[in-house]
Structure 1
Amino acid sequence: MNAPKRKPLVVTMGDPAGIGPEITAGAWKALRETGPAFAWIGDPACLPPGTPYEDVVTLTEAGSIFSKALPVLPLSLVAPVYPGEPDVLNAGPVVDSILRAVGLTRAEDAGAVVTCPISKAVLRDAGFPYPGHTEFLAALCEVPGEEVMMLASPMLRVVPVTVHVSLRDALNTLTTDLIVKVARTTAHALKRDFGILNPRLAIAGLNPHAGEGGHMGREEIDIIIPAIEQLRARGLNVHGPMPPDTMFTDTARANYDVALCMYHDQALIPIKTLDMENGVNTTLGLPIVRTSPDHGTAFDIAGKNRAKPESLIAALRLAGQLASYRAANPEPPEMRFT
């Protein structure tokens, strides 16, 4: 049986005053001969001078011209762009770029969405009601609340159970049911998209030494261990709660496929320390594949020819791999965890 033809990916503009246009051009230069092919939704005036590009109307055109020029699905901005100086007037086009990318992918014209970094502060000042990309994508895909953020690199995969909330709110939000829900979505995605048939999940403790038997906090006893017991009863391969200060060593990482962490920085600090350039943000629990570079807009270096495209390149490659795996392996009902 012939393998399904790989569809071009679609890349969003991100904040045009950030490094998104630069790293997009850099990623195209790096991938133009090998792929995966992609089209960028944005204003070509934001691209670095001299970047070969060609306006396209459909993604079908993107694949045929990708080796010679960056395919651009043009989108007009409202205000002039000055690198490093974000303008709330351009928030609308930034959001429109995401809307178009998700629409193309849900219509199966694109293989996956790859998002360039946005400024959450700029969008919120414009009235954007979502904490970030992840929650907005879930709403667009009509699965609000099902989204799970995973950061992945060749060295480590991590999932924060609580995400874009303060540490105090994270402690109040953490529940046994939430851990179970996030773990099940994560296990299913590793099986569904990464081809890991028996994914091994390491569950982090919340407190120092994973609570030291209740002497340093009872969250492990009252919240985390009951979640582990429920997950094991459902047939999932889970371990923990593991002391957070030792679970990211080379030896420990060899024994699991993903680390479930209790709050944002518990997950993101180790992966960004170990492998910042190759880290990829991917959203689990969606009907589409979405990845993103594991960094922000970097307004401080925008327009200075200092931005490195490696994380976007990694995000594009991972998106291509996941999209290809999904296309070649339609999901039978029995794959879902019950």
Structure 2
Amino acid sequence: MLSRKKVAISIGDLNGIGIQLALENHHTISQEVEPVYCIDEKMLEQASKKLQFTIPHDFQTIEEIAPYFDIEAGRVSKESGTYAYASFVKAVELTRDKKVDAICTLPIHKKAWELAGVNYKGHTDALRDFFDAEAIMMLGCSKMYVALFTEHIPLKDVAKSINEKDLTRFLIDFYHTAKPTKQIGVLGLNPHAGDDGVLGSEETIIQRAIDNAHTHIGKKIYSSPLVPDVAFTPRVRANYTHYIAMYHDQGLAPLKALYFDEGINVSLNLPILRTSVDHGTAFDVAYKNIKLNSLSYINAIKYITENQ
């Protein structure tokens, strides 16, 4: 039998559902990988008592994560943000040091990170800085993945962020790291993909970047800019398993409408493999003894076993 991959699990915001996901699914997850949970014993004991869960005997923890604090279910706090960030940094450290094979991150609250003085908007931003690499955010499931050219920026800044040089690099990097086997759908920015310039000219920039990428790659793998409002209809979707969206909601609104429960987040174009659940901290149900839908978490682990 092949040895299981070792995966660091950053525990996320302890005022949310991350620790419940970890405890509820430990038996299932540990059949696939050897998880190392980036939480210390004292915080784990506090959380398990609040959840009325028994801690599994083989639940591996890490000492000296961050200062102890009192968990307050559903509250955005500096303390929970500090701990969540420290857990993530420890997971990255374990991967850098080759002590684990990959990272799976449980959900954080971005405002809690901000309150804790963390200058990153999320895991992907931090990973770019940690590794000085142009990490690519891809979300979805085996039925459909969507990569985001721009991510967490205001909508008013999207159009001016679309430039030939950066998009060309993005398309080349995505092809080499996602390794899709079918043609990749590229979304236009404007309604009707610009209608030949009547509704906007950004599609000409997108097409030039596509042409540049094809020249570099040596084959045509990307579509011409697709009309965004029909790109995810069943007829068009039959042609693609991977899409490139120009901005966050353009790609993630249809993805989550179709596959919310099973979607995951993957960071591509890094020297390490990082996956994550594709949902938030769910403060409204944290520590309320409500059975969670764990499909996203399980799929995030499976992606590691299949792609690491």
Cα displacement string for residues 276-300 of structure 1 (whole angstroms, at most 9, x for unaligned residues): 1110100011100000000011111
Please state if 1:228 is matched with 2:218.
Answer: no
**Aligned with 1:313 (options 274, 284, 298):** 298
Please state if 1:286 is matched with 2:263.
Answer: no
Q: Tell me, what secondary structure is at the counterpart of 2:85?
A: helix
- Name the CA distance, whole Å, in 1 between partners of 2:230 and 2:80: 44
Query: TM-score, with normalisation over the residues of structure 2?
Result: 0.91
Q: Would you say how many aligned residue pairs link Structure 1 and Structure 2?
A: 298
Task: Say what the alpha-carbon RMSD is for the aligned residues.
Answer: 1.8
**Aligned with 2:62 (options 53, 73, 83):** 73
- Name the CA distance, whole Å, in 1 between partners of 2:131 and 2:200: 38
| Cα drift, residue 164 of structure 1 | 0.7
- 1:12 is aligned to 10
- 1:26 is aligned to 24
Cα displacement string for residues 213-234 of structure 1 (whole angstroms, at most 9, x for unaligned residues): 111111112x111111112222
Q: Tell me, what secondary structure is at the counterpart of 1:283?
A: strand
| Cα drift, residue 31 of structure 1 | 3.0
- 1:141 is aligned to 131
Spell out the pairing of 1:32-111 with structure 2 (5 A cutoff). Answer: 32=30, 34-42=31-39, 43-44=43-44, 45-47=46-48, 48-54=51-57, 69-74=58-63, 75=65, 77-111=67-101
Contact 1:18–1:86 (Cα < 8 Å) also in 2: no
**Aligned with 2:189 (options 206, 231, 236):** 206
- Name the CA distance, whole Å, in 2 between partners of 1:293 and 1:90: 19
| Cα drift, residue 77 of structure 1 | 4.1
Q: Tell me, what secondary structure is at the counterpart of 1:238?
A: coil
Higher deviation after alignment, 35-44 or 269-278: 35-44
| Cα drift, residue 76 of structure 1 | 5.1
Kindly tell me: are residues 77 and 310 of structure 1, through their superposed partners in 2, closer, same or farther at Cα, counting changes over 3 Å?
farther
Runs of 4+ in 1 over 4 A off after TM superposition: none
**Aligned with 2:143 (options 146, 155, 175):** 155
Higher deviation after alignment, 258-267 or 308-317: 308-317
Q: Tell me, what secondary structure is at the counterpart of 1:182?
A: helix
Please state if 1:268 is matched with 2:252.
Answer: yes
Query: TM-score, with normalisation over the residues of structure 1?
Result: 0.83
- Name the CA distance, whole Å, in 1 between partners of 2:60 and 2:304: 18
Identity score, percent: 32
Higher deviation after alignment, 272-281 or 253-262: 253-262
Contact 1:209–1:244 (Cα < 8 Å) also in 2: yes
Contact 1:53–1:72 (Cα < 8 Å) also in 2: no
